[in-house]
Amino acid sequence: MRMRFFLISLACSIFAACGTSTSLPDPQINPPTKPKPWVNRAPTLMAASPAKLAVGEQLTIIGDDFISSDYGVPYIKFVGTFTDDQGASYPVDLQIETKRTNSGKLTWSLWPNIVFHPQGDRLGTFVGDIQVLNVGNDGSQKLSDPLPTTVEIGPSLIPLLAQPKKGGCQPVVTSTLGDTGYQFQLRAVGLRAATQSAPLVFSWTFLAEQWVVGPHGLLDYEKVFPKSGGIGVEQVVTSGTETSLSDDSDASALVKIGREIMGDKGVAELKLRAVEGEGNGYQATVFVSAVDGGGKRATLRIPIDVHRQAEMFYNGESKVAQRWESYRVTDCLAGADIGRQVTYREDKTEQKSRAIAFQYNASLGVGLGLPSNPFALSINPSVGFGVDVQGVVSTQKMTGIDLGGQLLAGNFGVFYRQLTKVYKIGKLRGYGVCGESVDLGEVVLTDWIYTPEFAQGQSCPPPSNLAPAVKYLD
């Protein structure tokens, strides 16, 4: 696939000025260095808890040498037997990608159902071993020793559907776009089936900051409802173990703010809010509980990552492109017979303009409904990089502008300045309504650093000790 390259040209201006302030000298930028070789190691497992889980809850694994996302992906392996609540046993041999918190901690979520059971909807107990497999980007694989583990599965709510209402998505979608209507279908397992005399009561909570929830029969509910806090939806099921809730649905439901009933004719709107501001998306959450006629309860938390169609991510990655020779910005200063205190000054102020460039896969972007021109994407690189990408970098505002010191008697001093060009590299990702995501390329910020220096010696001018000029990248 062909990558298009887009660039805003640089501007540079030099004009007469001078100025002083106080700060420490800017540290010298180091040239690119060869990274230390990475070695994939077999992880060590120490403990796994808790011993009882419901769908949506996390198992935490404590150990050591869990692989970082910079180098690969950790997987958790379950090998053993699952015995369901009817006494039937099933062999288990699963390998599932998991999430690394740090080198000594992993978390794995039981999601979206009871994965140890062939149909995913029976309670029971897993007895066997867990192992963690470090899979490196270089193809290496390192497996831990087994850790004997028992996990009991308690009463749970299983999402049969949790998806955008439109788009033909897979049944359970936990990553989508803002301003999207949603639909849910849940099944309770481990609770009594509902009857007229002993119903199942499902209680949903949606946060107003994340969701638009409105009942049928109430006009202008967006004006009436609070802008933050929980919006409740209650459903009373009198048959079976399942319930459904959907955008633009006439299914029976009460919509509540606190204890006040705002509507009793079902839900007219159930939609994720659009991503506001100029940053990336947000995580929405749905909280659900169900209580059967005997008072037994099951709960579920459904997280949904909400994205813009295109988002930018910057993790601090940068590359030194070029460093110029240092140059004097003052004439020689004489220490005379007794020396003197000097502070930085410059006879000329220089400034450089930042610039943005894109390496953008336009064909993938257009396939997601994005524009072919990356400058038309709904991203703000200034927010992503944390600086004004259309601004200028001036020697009047550089770190260390008041660099100075004691000029020794009989010595000469000179202030130098050095210019370094740096490329800061952000990543572009595109998203679709059904959770698909693609790498769209990079956003490259050309930035500048001015490094001051005060040099002194017995000759005029004393030489600079700043690093020599070098060019690493075009």
**Of 20 and 414, the one with more pLDDT:** 414
- Tell me the residue type at 459: S
- Tell me the residue type at 418: Q
d(CA 183, CA 165) in angstroms, rounded, equals 5
pLDDT at 415: 87
DSSP letter (8 states) at residue 221: H
**Of 214 and 345, the one with more pLDDT:** 214
CB burial of 266-279 (b: ≥16 within 10 Å; e: otherwise) equals: bbbbbbbbebeeee
- Which of 269-278, 398-407, 409-418: highest mean pLDDT? 269-278
d(CA 434, CA 171) in angstroms, rounded, equals 10
Least confident among 11-20, 252-261, 436-445: 11-20
Least confident among 117-131, 270-284, 368-382, 402-416: 402-416
List C-alpha distances in Å: 27 to 282, 337, 439, 462. 36, 32, 34, 21
pLDDT exceeds cutoff 70 at 373: yes
d(CA 80, CA 92) in angstroms, rounded, equals 5
pLDDT at 429: 96
Q: What is the pLDDT of residues 38-66, one digit of tens each?
A: 899 999 999 999 999 999 999 999 999 99
Categorize the per-residue pLDDT at 345 as very low, low, confident or very high, splitting at 50, 70 and 90: low
Q: What is the pLDDT of residues 130-163, one digit of tens each?
A: 999 999 999 999 999 999 999 999 999 999 999 9
pLDDT at 303: 96
d(CA 129, CA 352) in angstroms, rounded, equals 60
Burial of 219 (0-12, 13-18, 19+ CB in 10 A): exposed
Closest among 109, 100, 102 to 133, alpha carbons compared: 100
pLDDT at 23: 31
d(CA 129, CA 147) in angstroms, rounded, equals 5
Q: Across residues 119-134, what is the average pLDDT?
A: 97
Q: Across residues 76-85, what is the average pLDDT?
A: 98
Rounded to two decimals, the pTM is 0.82
d(CA 377, CA 371) in angstroms, rounded, equals 7
d(CA 141, CA 139) in angstroms, rounded, equals 7
Q: Across residues 274-292, what is the average pLDDT?
A: 94
pLDDT at 24: 35
pLDDT at 57: 97
Say how many Å lie between the first and final Cα of the chain, rounded. Answer: 23
Token output for 418:
């050095």
Task: Please report which helix (H) or strand (E) contains residue 224, including its range.
Answer: helix 221-224
Pairing of strands 412-431, 437-457: antiparallel
pLDDT at 34: 56
Handedness of CA 428, 431, 435, 439 (dihedral sign): negative
pLDDT exceeds cutoff 60 at 224: yes
Q: Across residues 216-234, what is the average pLDDT?
A: 92
pLDDT at 30: 47
pLDDT exceeds cutoff 60 at 239: yes
pLDDT at 257: 94
List C-alpha distances in Å: 12 to 142, 352, 353, 392. 52, 5, 6, 9
Contact 284, 210 (CB under 8 A): yes
| Domains parsed from the chain with CATH numbers | 4-36+311-471 (no CATH), 44-144 (2.60.40), 179-307 (2.60.40)
- Which of 79-83, 225-229, 275-279, 334-338: highest mean pLDDT? 79-83
**Of 304 and 9, the one with more pLDDT:** 304
pLDDT exceeds cutoff 70 at 80: yes
CB burial of 82-110 (b: ≥16 within 10 Å; e: otherwise) equals: bbbeeeeeeebeeeeebebeeeeebebbb
pLDDT at 404: 65
Categorize the per-residue pLDDT at 347 as very low, low, confident or very high, splitting at 50, 70 and 90: low
Residues 6+ apart with CB under 8 A from 9: 355
- Which of 246-260, 296-310, 335-349, 369-383: highest mean pLDDT? 296-310
Average pLDDT of the chain?
89
pLDDT exceeds cutoff 80 at 474: no
What are the helix (H) ranges across 331-422? Answer: 362-367, 381-385
pLDDT exceeds cutoff 60 at 7: no
pLDDT exceeds cutoff 60 at 29: no
- Tell me the residue type at 314: Y
Contact 143, 133 (CB under 8 A): yes
Categorize the per-residue pLDDT at 322 as very low, low, confident or very high, splitting at 50, 70 and 90: very high
Token output for 64:
């050591």
pLDDT at 167: 84
**Of 408 and 419, the one with more pLDDT:** 419
